[in-house]
Chain A
Amino acid sequence: MNLEFLIPLLAAAVQSGTPILYATLGEIFTEKSGILNLGVEGIMMVGALAAFVSAKFFGSPILAFLIGGCAGAFLAGIHGLVCLDFQGNQVVSGLALTILGVGLANYLGTPFIGQAAPGFSPMPLPVLSKIPILGPVFFDHDPLVYTAYLIPPAIWAFFRYTRWGMGMRAVGEYPRAASAAGLRATGYRWAGVLVGGYLVGFGGAYLSLAYTHLWTNGLSAGRGWIAIALVIFAFWHPGRAVIGAYLFGGVMALQLRLQASGTHIPSSLLLMLPYALTVIVLVLSSWKRQGTEVPSALGINIEPSE
C-alpha cells in the first residue's frame, strides 16, 4: 500500500463518511435528550428530496441545504408529536417514521428522477489543501464536508459548557429530577428532536447536493441505519462519531478500490466488509463499557404529570 493508493482512499473515506456523520450527530443530539428516533433513514430521504427539489427551483445550493435540514426537522417533529404530546411508543413511532419518510420521498420524488440540479462542487481550501497528505485528505472537498468538521466540537461544547446543554443531558438522564429542578423537560426534548432532525436532514441533503447531483428512489440506501448503529459505537460522543463515520466510509471506499486495483478477492465478499465491520466494532466496543454511557432515560416517555 503506497501513498498514491492511500491518499485518494482516505479522501474518499472522508467524503463518503460525511452524510453518515451528519446523521449520526443528529441522532446523538436527539438521544442525549432521551428520545430514541429510529426514523433516521426516512428523515434522510425526505431531507435529500427537499434539498434536491429546492436546488432545482431556487438555484441556490446553500438555501437548498438549509431547506433539506428544515424538511428533516419537520419529519422529526411528527416523531416529537407522537412521543411527547401523545405518549406514543418511541420505537414504533420511529420505525413508522422510516417507512413514512422513505415512501413519501419515493412517491413525491418520482417526477424528479434523472433530472439535474445545481449542487456543491469541490472547493479546495487555500493554504490548508497544500499541506502534504492531510491537505488532499481533509481540505480538498466540497464546502459541506468542511461544515461537518465544525459540528462535532460545537455539539461537544454545547453539552459540556452551556446551561441548555447540561439541562438537556439532565432531561435525558433523569427527567423527573430535571423537572423538580425547574427545567421544562418536554421543551428540552422537543429541542433535541427538532435540532437532531435538522442535522439528519443535512445528511440526506448532502447525498443529493454534493455526493451526487441526482435524485433517485432509495438514495440513502441504508445509510440511516448505519448512523443509528454508529451512535452506539460512538458512546453518544460526537468525537467518536467522527471516527466511526469516516471508518465506515473508508471501508466502503476501500472495497471498490480493491476491486479497481485488480484484486482477486470475490467482490461479494468485499461488499460485505462495511457491514461486517459494523457488527464487529459494535461487539468489541460494548465489551467492557456495557451500557454505562447510555442516557438513562433513553426511550422512556415523560409522564404527563412531570
Chain B
Amino acid sequence: MRRAMFFWVFICVFAWGVALAADTPMKVGFVYVSPIGDAGWSYAHDQGRLGIEAMDGVTTSFVEDVPEGPDSERVMLNMARKNYTLIFATSYGYMDPMLKVAKQFPDIVFMHCSGFKTAKNMGNYFGRMYQARYLSGMVAGAMTKSKILGYVAAFPIPEVIRGINAFALGAQSVNSDVKVRVVWTKTWYDPATEKEAAKSLLDVGADVIAQHQDSPAPQEAAQEKGVYSVGYNSDMSKFAPKSHLCAPIWNWSSFYKEMVEKVRQGTWKSESIWYGLEYGIVDITPMGSMVPEAVQKRVLAKKAEIASGKAKVFVGPIKDQSGKLRIAKGAAADDQELLGMTWFVEGVAGTTQ
C-alpha cells in the first residue's frame, strides 16, 4: 500500500515536471559585439532575433556591446547557467570563449557566427556575403563615370578581402576597365575615421563609395559630394537617399527560425553552415531609382543565376594584382580557397597588409 502510494506520488511529480518542462518557453540568447541601434552588423542579427521572438514558446534575450575576449565568456556563462537552450554569439572573437563554455554545458546548443571551430554541441554559421557584394559591384560598375570605385574597408582579413574581390569582379563584369581603390581604417566602427577615409577616396576620383564598415558615415560623405554609394549590413538609404544605389544585406531571420525548430525537435547537429543567396541569408536591397531599368534587370538575372547555382562568383581565369594567374580558366574556387583568401584580384589598388 505504502509502496503504491510512493509510486503514485512519484508519477504525479514526474508528470508535473514534464508538464512544466513543456510549458517553459525555450530560452534563446544572443551575444552582440556592438550596440543594436547601429543599422549595422548587430542590428541585422537583432532583426533575426525579433523574427524568432515572434514564434510560439520561444523567449529571447540579448546582451549588446560585449567586448570580445574574457567579458564575452562571462556573458555566455551567465546565459548557460540560467538554462538557456540555445545561444548565438555573433562575432569572430567569441569563438574561443564560446568553445570553453560549450564544453562545460554539454546540454546547451551553441552557435558561433563567422568562425571555424566546432564541438559536439557547438556549430558555426555564416553567409556567402561575397555573392551579394558581386551584385552590388555590378550596380556600382554600371553607374560609375570615372571608372574608379572607392572601398572603405575595416581589416585585411579573408572575409573582407573576399568581399572586395567579389565587388571588383562584379564591377568588371559590366565595365571591364573599372578600378577599385581600397582604404583600410582598422576599425569596424568609427564614423569619423570612416568618413575621412571615404573623403580621401573621393579626392582621388572615386565616384561610387562602397564599404565594409558598420557605420553609415561613408554614405554621408558620398551624399555630401553628390556621388553614389553602396551600403552594407542593412538598407542605409535613409542616411543618404540621393546616393544610396543598393546594399548587400544580411537576412538572419529564417536561418535563426530554422535553428530554433531543429533544436526543439532534437534534429540539430553540429556542423559548419555557409549559406548564400539561394537561402536568402544574404541579399541585396531594392536598387535606388537612379539605377536604370536595364541594369536592374541584369543584376537580378545574375542574382537568380547565382542562387540557382548556375553561376559562381570566383570562376577563372582570375589574376591577382601582380598579374599572376590564381584561378585557372574555367575552374571555380573551392570553399577552402575562399575562406583563406589573402590576395586582391587584378584591378584593385591597395595592399592586403
Residues of A participating in the B interface, judged by any CB pair closer than 8 Å: 5, 8-9, 12, 16, 106, 110-116, 121-122, 207, 211-214, 216-219, 221, 252-253, 256-257, 259-262, 264-268, 271
Contact B196 A252 (CB under 8 A): yes
Contact A214 B186 (CB under 8 A): no
Contact B196 A216 (CB under 8 A): no
Q: Determine the distance from Cα of A274 to Cα of B38 in the docked complex, in whole angstroms.
A: 28
Given contacts A257-B200, A267-B186, contact A212 B37 (CB under 8 A): no
Chain B residue nearest to A253 in the complex (CB): B196
> Of B35, B224, B350, which is within 8 A of A259 by CB?
B350
> Of B37, B192, B350, which is within 8 A of A111 by CB?
B37
Contact B35 A268 (CB under 8 A): no
8 pairs, CB–CB < 8 Å, chain A vs chain B: A5-B203, A12-B203, A116-B238, A207-B192, A257-B204, A260-B200, A260-B203, A266-B351
Contacts of B141 in A (CB 8 A): none
> Of A110, A116, A265, which is within 8 A of B37 by CB?
A110
B189 within 8 A of A: yes
Q: Determine the distance from Cα of A266 to Cα of B39 in the docked complex, in whole angstroms.
A: 30
Contact B349 A262 (CB under 8 A): yes
B248 within 8 A of A: no
In chain B, residues 158-212, which have Cβ atoms closer than 8 Å to a Cβ of chain A? 181-186, 189-193, 195-197, 199-201, 203-204, 206
B97 within 8 A of A: no
Contact B200 A216 (CB under 8 A): no
Contact A216 B201 (CB under 8 A): no
B265 within 8 A of A: no
Contact A214 B196 (CB under 8 A): no
Contact A114 B38 (CB under 8 A): yes
Contacts of A112 in B (CB 8 A): 37
Chain A residue nearest to B184 in the complex (CB): A267
Given contacts A216-B189, A216-B215, A257-B204, 7 further A-B contacts (CB under 8 A): A111-B37, A113-B38, A114-B39, A217-B65, A221-B192, A260-B197, A260-B204
Contacts of A253 in B (CB 8 A): 196, 200
B346 within 8 A of A: no
Given contacts A207-B192, A211-B192, A257-B200, contact A262 B38 (CB under 8 A): no
Contacts of A212 in B (CB 8 A): 191-192, 195, 217, 220
Contact with A along B216-234 (1 / 0, CB 8 A): 1100100010000000000
Contact A115 B349 (CB under 8 A): no
Contacts of B65 in A (CB 8 A): 106, 110, 217
Residues of B participating in the A interface, judged by any CB pair closer than 8 Å: 35, 37-40, 43, 64-65, 150, 156, 181-186, 189-193, 195-197, 199-201, 203-204, 206, 215-217, 220, 224, 238-239, 349-351, 353
Contacts of A268 in B (CB 8 A): 186, 353
Given contacts A8-B203, A253-B200, A257-B203, contact A214 B217 (CB under 8 A): yes
Which has the most chain A C-beta neighbours within 10 Å: B35, B38, B220, B239?
B35
Contact B224 A121 (CB under 8 A): yes
Contact B37 A256 (CB under 8 A): no
Contact A116 B239 (CB under 8 A): yes
Contacts of B189 in A (CB 8 A): 216
Q: How far is the CB of B192 from chain A (nearest CB, A)?
A: 5
Q: Determine the distance from Cα of A49 to Cα of B64 in the docked complex, in whole angstroms.
A: 19
Q: Determine the distance from Cα of A16 to Cα of B182 in the docked complex, in whole angstroms.
A: 21
Chain B residue nearest to A262 in the complex (CB): B349
Given contacts A216-B38, A267-B353, contact A259 B192 (CB under 8 A): no
Contacts of B195 in A (CB 8 A): 211-212
Which has the most chain B C-beta neighbours within 10 Å: A113, A116, A221?
A113
Which has the most chain A C-beta neighbours within 10 Å: B38, B39, B191, B216?
B191
Q: Determine the distance from Cα of A213 to Cα of B182 in the docked complex, in whole angstroms.
A: 24
Q: How far is the CB of A209 from chain B (nearest CB, A)?
A: 12
Q: Determine the distance from Cα of A252 to Cα of B40 in the docked complex, in whole angstroms.
A: 25
Contacts of A110 in B (CB 8 A): 35, 37, 64-65
Contact B215 A214 (CB under 8 A): yes
Q: Determine the distance from Cα of A216 to Cα of B195 in the docked complex, in whole angstroms.
A: 13
Contact B200 A259 (CB under 8 A): yes
Contacts of A216 in B (CB 8 A): 38, 189-191, 215
Q: Determine the distance from Cα of A262 to Cα of B156 in the docked complex, in whole angstroms.
A: 15
Q: Determine the distance from Cα of A219 to Cα of B191 in the docked complex, in whole angstroms.
A: 7
Given contacts A221-B192, A267-B184, contact A256 B38 (CB under 8 A): no
Contact B353 A266 (CB under 8 A): yes
Q: Determine the distance from Cα of A78 to Cα of B191 in the docked complex, in whole angstroms.
A: 29
Contacts of B200 in A (CB 8 A): 8, 12, 253, 256-257, 259-260
Q: Determine the distance from Cα of A220 to Cα of B350 in the docked complex, in whole angstroms.
A: 27
Contacts of B196 in A (CB 8 A): 12, 16, 252-253, 256
Contact B37 A259 (CB under 8 A): no
Contact A260 B192 (CB under 8 A): no
> Of A114, A219, A262, which is within 8 A of B350 by CB?
A262
Contact A217 B183 (CB under 8 A): no
Chain A residue nearest to B353 in the complex (CB): A266
Contacts of A266 in B (CB 8 A): 351, 353
Given contacts A259-B182, A259-B183, A267-B184, contact A221 B35 (CB under 8 A): no
Contacts of B182 in A (CB 8 A): 259
Q: Determine the distance from Cα of A121 to Cα of B221 in the docked complex, in whole angstroms.
A: 11
Contacts of B35 in A (CB 8 A): 110, 113, 217
Q: Determine the distance from Cα of A216 to Cα of B40 in the docked complex, in whole angstroms.
A: 12
Contacts of B217 in A (CB 8 A): 212, 214
Contacts of B206 in A (CB 8 A): 260
Q: Determine the distance from Cα of A9 to Cα of B196 in the docked complex, in whole angstroms.
A: 11
Q: How far is the CB of A13 from chain B (nearest CB, A)?
A: 11
Contacts of B37 in A (CB 8 A): 110-115
> Of B43, B190, B351, B353, which is within 8 A of A221 by CB?
B190
Contacts of A260 in B (CB 8 A): 150, 181, 183, 197, 200-201, 203-204, 206
Contact A213 B190 (CB under 8 A): no
Q: How far is the CB of A14 from chain B (nearest CB, A)?
A: 12
